[in-house]
A and B are shown apart, each in its own frame.
Chain A
Amino acid sequence: MPDLTPPPRPVALRLSKITKRFGPVLANDAISLEVAEGEVLALLGENGAGKTTLMNILFGHYTADEGSIEVLGAPLPPGQPRAALERGIGMVHQHFTLAENLTVLDNLLLGTRSLWQARQHRSAARHRIETLADEYGLAVNPDARIADLSVGERQRVEILKALYREARVLILDEPTAVLTPQEADALFATLRKAVAHGLAVIFISHKLHEVMAIADRVVVLRHGRVAGEVATTGTDATRLAAMMVGAEVSTPMLAPATEGAIAMRFDRVVTEGFRPDLSGVTLDLVGGRITGLAGVSGNGQAALAALISGLARPISGEVIVAGRTVADWSPALAVGHGIGRIPEDRHHTGTIGDFSLAENAVIERIRDPRFSRAGWIDWRAARSHAEKLIASYDIRCPGPDARIRLLSGGNMQKLILGRVLEENPAIILANQPVRGLDIGAVRFVQEQLLKARQRGAAILLISEDLEEIMALSDVIHVISEGRLSPGFARGSMQPAELGLWMAGQGFDHAA
């Protein structure tokens, strides 16, 4: 009987025993994998598993300590993005590598012609872009400035950049983190077209359902090593999750909590100076309740977070805390009103990298009589406060005097969490609290938030991760272009329905 199985597709990319160390940390440990032409390979793993490091090595941002890479059969010289580009590797970075003040055309042209040439040949490039855009379903205006484009549009430009350079292997790093469910579907359509053209696609993600939806095969990374490799037809989300963390995963159970009074109220609040601004947002934060704010980044979360944090004031509407309208507002006043703030960016806003743990632990409360009197700081008290936090929140660090820059993301976040929760705040703003953390830290942070909820705190949880919002919130609002949807009780909405609200539909019908 003749063998009717189709011949295996040619290997587009082969990584052999890639190893990379950063100081004492072993980011990639002898990783080997292959991708065939026309195949979608998902690289799955939690934060810190080594996925992005591996792809950065592939693209030449880093050089591997050991191991080799072959692209379309030929060895790839390490450490040079130019070589990777020439061999046909195209990367769509998680943080877009686009120059905002330049146009789409400029960004695509950049680096494609020799620097010693005098002419750019813009019209030829323009024509080629338009052709590619049509072929792959990526509508763009070549003359638009990147700064004026939405996040979804910018991602299309990133993909076009790779296609323009005739990529044969397309790598996408967490591409749906910033997309609505509908935009994600459009992306998958583009990827299917790419695969039909014979490209190999590597899709990095930590979202199980996406991986199951789009990938042919999955390679699971855990702690820098390949933990498993399966075809998606032969597995399911639960088994993938188990491979990802090496144990059974369970979502936290939300015990019923007694809800208390309205701790903070936003009444038809309008802001200015943000992109976009809040336009007449009304929201109640109730004690003992986690209010989840779902939405793609850049839809007004920044304005709302700034408002709660004290960094912004409304130009119309009222902010009412514990029943009293707030007249004057500032971060210091917010802290004084008992608002605990976990900011989105722990490196930039949450901590001062060169300061010690002790200094970071007391910075919000430096004028508190516990830590200073008549302008003189009691460093012993500050240090012992930090030591208490280190013990209670299991912060791995050299000690309270160590510079906080040396800590891992998870431990830094624990310090921020600790300094906030120790003050028993009535209101908590948790802005992307688990972004970029490994699974252990994610669990920890989520548990602490749930404990605070039990104690009666009113919590606003802002997260890009719809699954997280749905798992942890009592009430879910969707924010889109500065408008707030009505609140949806836990369990009453499907992700797709929320996705529609996230994409802006539903607001026109609502009163």
Chain B
Amino acid sequence: MRLEPIAAPGPARRILPPLVALGATVLLAGVLALIAGADPLAVLGLIVKGALGSKFALLETLNRATPLIFTGLAVAVAFRARLWNIGAEAQLYAGALMTVLLGTGALPWPSAILIPVLALAAMLAGALMLMGPAFLKLRFGVDEVVTTLLLNFVMLLLVSMLLEGPLKDPMGMGWPKSPALLKEARLPRIVDGLRLHWGFALALIAAVGIWILDRKTVAGFEMRAVGAGEAAAGFAGIRVPRVVMLTAALSGGLAALAGFSEVAGLKGNLTSDLSPGYGYTGIVVAMLAALNPLGVVLAALFVAAIFVGADSMSRAAGVPTYIADILLAFALLAMVLALTMTRYRLRRA
């Protein structure tokens, strides 16, 4: 058996495999529902309703999608350059930490200045978190998969430590949390009365920004080139180490914005359970989007819908919420396979 590249894939070949992957995911949802002793169609319906069935649900989905767009973009930017950033979780928390460090009173500035400063500071923190492993890879050949992964654990412990120590909210009771952000540091709602904050708009702007960077700028071109053919890129004069570090900075910064957005937009403070794994889910989002920045928005919405829907369904039908994680992991694998099948066919040698 071997894989044979297809010269000019027709439209059917490009659409069908991803559709099959999605279809298989839906089928799996039904099967899991059956295993859990529930009615498959009812479960599917509850998921959809839970995600999109009411204004509240819709807003919840959009809110949940916001950090996923950021981490999805972070992973997409990195993976595209073959920088395996599995540490978006740590970068997210770095951004959240920075937001809380500077935004709870250290900088008594008006909103118009404070919010951009916090965002940039967060991005810097996230950038540094990934540039470290990137440097280790360039200089010592240390695989960034393991270093970024291990840093996730280190970061979580650091956050926990700080929240029980110097960053502890003096007025909090029991559960360790940071002091609340200044009013001036909070991201306003997009529309008064709706529970949707500017983080979502920022995420969309970021997606478009990355798309423009990719297609239209020299920097984006070089990042894509290094990912698609590092030897040829270097030969052509592209400064590969610099591009890798730039990619790391951008990727880490984007993931950190997820933390900034959650703290400044949604929660208003930092707890150690700020992220239910957005960093890891960002990988699923990025792969479902085939590393395309605009696709990341759609994929993030899809993934958020699954989570929000599954939460709601679980309360109603009793199927464990982990069904969402299973479906997304399966969708990830199915999509990766499907994307290959759009460009290759299986042949007897």
Direct contact of A and B (CB under 8 A): yes
> Inside 8 A of A331's CB, which chain B residues have their CB?
234-237
Instruction: Tell me the nearest residue of chain A to B212, going by C-beta.
Output: A376
**Residue interface mask B338-349, A partner, CB < 8 A = 1:** 000000000011
Known: A354-B228, A355-B229, A377-B216. A364 touches B236 (CB 8 A): yes
Known: A359-B221, A367-B218, A406-B7. A354 touches B349 (CB 8 A): no
For chain A residues 348-399, which have a beta carbon within 8 Å of chain B? 348-355, 359, 363-364, 366-367, 372, 375-377, 379, 398
**Minimum CB–CB distance for B189 against chain A, Å:** 35
Interface of B with A (CB < 8 Å)? Answer: 4-5, 7-8, 216-219, 221-222, 224-225, 228-229, 231-239, 348-349
Interface residues of A in 417-434 (CB under 8 A from B): none
CB under 8 Å from chain B, chain A span 1-35 = 22-24
Q: Does any Cβ of B come within 8 Å of A190's Cβ?
A: no
Taking the nearest CB of chain A, how far is it from the CB of B195, in angstroms? 38
Whether the Cβ atoms of B348 and A63 lie closer than 8 Å is yes
A363 touches B218 (CB 8 A): no
Q: Which of B218, B232, B349 contacts A351 (CB 8 A)?
A: B232
Q: How many Å lie between the Cα of A377 and that of B239 in the bound state?
A: 18
Residues of chain A within 8 A of B234, CB atoms compared: 311, 331
**A355→B228 CA distance, assembly (Å):** 8
Is A343 part of the binding interface, using a Cβ–Cβ cutoff of 8 Å?
A: yes
Known interface pairs A23-B4, A363-B225, A398-B8; A352-B233 also in contact (CB < 8 Å):
yes
| Residues in chain A within 8 A of chain B (CB atoms) | 22-24, 61-63, 79, 309-311, 330-332, 334-335, 341, 343, 348-355, 359, 363-364, 366-367, 372, 375-377, 379, 398, 405-406
Q: With the chains together, A332 CA to B349 CA distance in Å?
A: 42
**Complex contact B235–A343 (CB within 8 A):** yes
- With most chain B CB atoms within 10 A of its CB, the pick from A79, A341, A349 is A349
Q: Which B residues are in CB contact (< 8 Å) with A405?
A: 5
CA distance A76 to B155 in the complex (A): 61
- A352-B217 contact, Cβ under 8 Å, with A331-B235, A332-B237: no
From B7, B217, B236, B239, A363 is in contact (CB under 8 Å) with: B236
A350 to B236, CA, bound (A): 8
How distant is the Cα of A350 from the Cα of B229 in the complex, in angstroms? Answer: 10
- Nearest first, the 5 A-B pairs at minimum CB distance are A352-B229, A332-B237, A331-B237, A363-B236, A364-B236
- The CA-CA distance from A375 to B223 in the complex, in Å, is 13
Asked if B232 contacts A375 (CB within 8 A), the reply is no
B239: which A residues are within 8 A, CB to CB?
A: 330, 332
Contacts of A363 in B (CB 8 A): 225, 232-233, 236, 238
B225, B232, B349: the one within 8 Å of A63 (CB): B349
Instruction: Chain B residues near A352: list those with CB within 8 A.
Output: 225, 228-229, 232-233
Could you say which of B217, B224, B233, B235 contacts A309, with CB atoms under 8 Å apart?
B235
**Is the beta-carbon distance between A372 and B218 smaller than 8 angstroms?**
yes
Interchain nearest-CB distance for A7 vs B (Å)? 39
Say how far B209's CB is from chain A's closest CB, in angstroms. 14
Contacts of A61 in B (CB 8 A): 349
Task: Give the nearest-CB partner of A310 in chain B.
Answer: B237
